[in-house]
């Protein structure tokens, strides 16, 4: 480098240091975020993100290590619980519509009505948990005998699980209204939840590890008690809200992009480090992932430290674009919104894709089986392999803009589905034919996983981009983006996916997989348990290419839609000006 070059670099660095020092506490003119807050974003968002990632080790699902090694709940029981909770899910959504659709915000009288509804749900839930309502029914009748025949359940457990969902729904609903009203004015729409949830969440994380309810002998009792414990744990959230907050950190668009590009990205490094350290610590425990000390000490300590750092810094990360709370947003009438989204052909195609995708529901996590039951990985080798595979998606991410320009969405998505189908087929063949040769079979699987991770990034980016375009198209169709109404499709698909999602668990039960994951150490069973669902999944991916053949929303159409939207904005703004009405959110093109 030339002398001039060195001087120039030195000057630039010096200038940057001086800029940071000058605007450490006070932002430069036109900016809103002092550099000190950048530092707070790095640590605060990092801690918050790490905390949320740590919580991913705790969950009421079969592949959670706590359930896998300690609770040992039957695999099909999760489907039974899903089935029991399904009708109430629709009822609770109806209440939420009642809140949103008719009112927009809650006047006193309605608020009381909603509280009453939630209160009654809680009362019924608590009563169901305390008393055994199943005894009201004829114990030799078909209703009770059907409930008794569910895997891992009996009539008593079914009623208590049903009651738990009532309690959960009522409790979450009532808390939601109460804390939003109390805390949103003070802390904003994102951060408020941290303030009301963090302490109970920490308590629950500790209790989950220390309450020895996993030792309850009777499986049906263990199921409903575990369901109650995890439902209580889920009442309190700890979302990645500080990162959400950075979306509103500055009204200056450039500054906002800067914050989200550097400090926020940098903050994720804490989790990346933890993702390597945590399994290494686990490797040092005597029983590794099966060691209860992981849930008694490692998880609570990690989470509580993350939570404390998050809370310490959350007050310093500010929302500078005020937004009304969700309740005060202008709402579209439910039926208009619903009929509006049903007209969107592309949402329908996505729904069909989702439906076909449900063929793979209920599959065991293949990577977990590969790492723990084929390779018997733990400690640092496990961390490194997981990190390597996760990294596979990063380089193609840099090439996303090229691929998005070069290929249409239809081509990218068809390639994506086919790559998954082929990848799964290769894994199935490898496991079927080389099952005994653990190293060769495992290596082929890892290479395929690496390839599949690599080919995932561009379609994911394309998908995000297309979702925005679908919103534009909805805006063209209905005059609104109707994003929240897109969930309506789930109402139709839910019943089908929940039924289709039973196929694989029932099949797995036939091949010996129930509540004891150690059957996967048995080579013959492992092949059957893994291979057949993978083949079903591969078929699903292949079929998923078909709906995309009908995808005809291209760049040209998008440009035309944007033209229409622009024109609408121009005309309405012009009219508003003529009428002397001020217009918010002027369209900038």
Contacts with other proteins in 461-480 (CB under 8 A)?
A: 473, 476-479
Would you count residue 521 as binding other proteins (CB under 8 A)? yes
The nearest distance, CB 407 to other proteins, in angstroms, is 8
Number of residues that bind other proteins (CB under 8 A): 95
Name the DSSP letter for residue 28. Answer: P
CA distance 475 to 559: 13
Q: In the numeric block, which tokens belong to residue 509?
A: 């039960």
Binding test (CB under 8 A) with other proteins, winner from 10, 182, 567, 577: 567
CA distance 111 to 103: 10
- Residues 129-188 interacting with other proteins (rule: CB under 8 A): 135, 138-141, 144-146, 148-151, 154-155
Binding test (CB under 8 A) with other proteins, winner from 232, 244, 323, 498: 498
Q: In the numeric block, which tokens belong to residue 69?
A: 């090694």
| H runs (alpha helix) in 320-408 | 334-342, 345-357, 366-368, 379-391, 394-398, 400-406
Q: Which residue number, 150 or 548, has a Cβ lying nearer to other proteins?
A: 150
- Residues 316-345 interacting with other proteins (rule: CB under 8 A): 335-336, 338-340, 343, 345
Would you count residue 518 as binding other proteins (CB under 8 A)? yes
Binding test (CB under 8 A) with other proteins, winner from 16, 96, 492, 550: 492
The nearest distance, CB 12 to other proteins, in angstroms, is 33
Would you count residue 261 as binding other proteins (CB under 8 A)? no
Q: In the numeric block, which tokens belong to residue 27?
A: 């932002």
CA distance 98 to 116: 14
Query: Within a 10 A sphere around the Cβ of 462, how many other Cβ atoms?
Result: 21
The nearest distance, CB 30 to other proteins, in angstroms, is 30
Would you count residue 381 as binding other proteins (CB under 8 A)? yes
Q: 420 and 452 in contact (C-beta within 8 Å)?
A: yes
Binding test (CB under 8 A) with other proteins, winner from 491, 550, 577, 587: 491
Q: Which residue number, 322 or 589, has a Cβ lying nearer to other proteins?
A: 589
* Residue 258 burial (10 A CB sphere; 0-12, 13-18, 19+): middle
Binding test (CB under 8 A) with other proteins, winner from 108, 109, 559, 581: 559
Q: 432 and 531 in contact (C-beta within 8 Å)?
A: yes
Would you count residue 401 as binding other proteins (CB under 8 A)? no
The nearest distance, CB 38 to other proteins, in angstroms, is 33
Would you count residue 280 as binding other proteins (CB under 8 A)? yes
- Residues 283-312 interacting with other proteins (rule: CB under 8 A): 283-284, 286, 292
For helices 299-314 and 35-55, the axis angle rounded to 10 degrees is 150
Query: Within a 10 A sphere around the Cβ of 310, how many other Cβ atoms?
Result: 27
Name the DSSP letter for residue 30. Answer: T
- Residues 220-249 interacting with other proteins (rule: CB under 8 A): 220
Three-class secondary structure of residue 51 per DSSP:
helix
Closest CA relative to residue 354, chosen from 480, 500, 210: 500
- Residues 44-103 interacting with other proteins (rule: CB under 8 A): 72, 74, 76, 79-80, 83, 86-87, 90
The nearest distance, CB 41 to other proteins, in angstroms, is 32
Binding test (CB under 8 A) with other proteins, winner from 522, 577, 583, 587: 522
Would you count residue 527 as binding other proteins (CB under 8 A)? no
Q: Which residue number, 73 or 426, has a Cβ lying nearer to other proteins?
A: 73
Q: Which residue number, 44 or 74, has a Cβ lying nearer to other proteins?
A: 74
Q: 165 and 92 in contact (C-beta within 8 Å)?
A: no
- Residues 431-460 interacting with other proteins (rule: CB under 8 A): 437-439
In angstroms, what CA-CA distances link 175 with 76, 171, 485?
Answer: 31, 6, 24
Closest CA relative to residue 450, chosen from 501, 500, 387: 387
Three-class secondary structure of residue 577 per DSSP:
helix
């Amino acid at each position: 480098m030339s002398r001039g070059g060195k001087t120039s670099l030195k000057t630039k660095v010096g200038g940057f240091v001086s800029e940071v020092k000058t605007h450490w506490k006070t932002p430069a003119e036109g900016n809103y975020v002092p550099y000190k807050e950048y530092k707070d974003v790095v640590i605060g968002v990092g801690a918050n993100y790490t905390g949320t990632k740590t919580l991913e080790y705790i969950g009421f699902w079969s592949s959670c290590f706590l359930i896998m090694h300690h609770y040992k709940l039957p695999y099909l029981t999760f489907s039974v619980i899903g089935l029991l909770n399904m009708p109430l899910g629709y009822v609770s959504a109806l209440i939420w519509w009642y809140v949103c659709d008719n009112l927009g915000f809650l006047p006193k009288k309605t608020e009381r009505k909603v509280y009453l509804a939630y209160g009654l749900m809680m009362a019924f839930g608590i009563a169901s948990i305390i008393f055994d309502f199943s005894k009201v029914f004829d114990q030799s009748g078909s209703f009770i005998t059907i409930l008794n025949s569910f895997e891992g359940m009996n009539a008593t457990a079914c009623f208590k699980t049903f009651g738990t969902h009532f309690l959960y729904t009522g409790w979450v609903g009532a808390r939601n209204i109460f804390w939003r009203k109390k805390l949103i004015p003070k802390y904003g729409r994102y951060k408020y939840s941290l303030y009301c949830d963090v302490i109970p969440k920490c308590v629950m994380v500790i209790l989950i590890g220390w309450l020895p309810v996993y030792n309850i002998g009777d499986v049906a009792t263990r199921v409903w008690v575990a369901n109650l414990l995890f439902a209580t744990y889920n009442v309190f959230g700890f979302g990645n809200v500080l990162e959400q907050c950075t979306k509103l950190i500055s009204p200056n668009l450039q500054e906002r992009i800067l914050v989200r590009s550097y400090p926020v990205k940098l903050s994720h490094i804490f989790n990346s480090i933890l993702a390597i350290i945590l399994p290494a610590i686990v490797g040092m425990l005597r029983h590794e992932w099966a060691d209860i000390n992981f849930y008694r000490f490692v998880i609570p300590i990690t989470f509580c430290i993350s939570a404390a750092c998050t809370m310490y810094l959350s007050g310093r990360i500010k929302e500078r674009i005020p937004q009304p709370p969700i309740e005060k947003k202008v709402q579209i009438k439910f039926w208009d919104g619903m009929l509006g989204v049903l007209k969107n052909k592309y949402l329908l195609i996505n729904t069909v894709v989702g439906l076909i995708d449900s063929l793979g529901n209920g599959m065991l996590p293949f990577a977990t089986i590969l790492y723990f039951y084929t390779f018997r990985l733990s400690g640092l080798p496990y961390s490194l392999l997981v990190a390597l595979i996760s990294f596979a998606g990063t380089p193609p991410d840099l090439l996303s803009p090229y691929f998005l320009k070069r290929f249409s969405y239809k081509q990218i998505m068809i390639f994506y589905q086919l790559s998954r189908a082929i990848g799964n087929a290769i894994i199935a063949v490898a496991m079927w034919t080389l099952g005994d040769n653990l190293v060769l079979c495992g290596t082929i699987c890892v290479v395929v996983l690496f390839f599949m991770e690599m080919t995932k990034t561009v379609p994911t980016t394309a998908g995000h981009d297309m979702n925005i375009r679908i919103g534009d198209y909805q805006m063209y169709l209905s005059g609104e983006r109707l994003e929240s109404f897109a969930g309506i499709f789930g109402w139709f698909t839910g019943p089908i996916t929940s039924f289709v999602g039973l196929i694989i668990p029932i099949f797995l039960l036939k091949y010996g997989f129930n509540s004891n994951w150690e059957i996967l150490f048995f080579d013959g069973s492992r092949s059957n348990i893994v291979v057949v669902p993978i083949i079903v999944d591969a078929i699903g991916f292949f079929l998923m290419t078909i709906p995309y053949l009908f995808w005809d929303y291209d760049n040209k159409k998008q440009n035309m839609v944007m033209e229409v939207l622009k024109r609408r904005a121009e005309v309405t703004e012009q009219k508003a000006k003529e009428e002397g009405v001020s217009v918010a959110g002027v369209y900038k093109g």
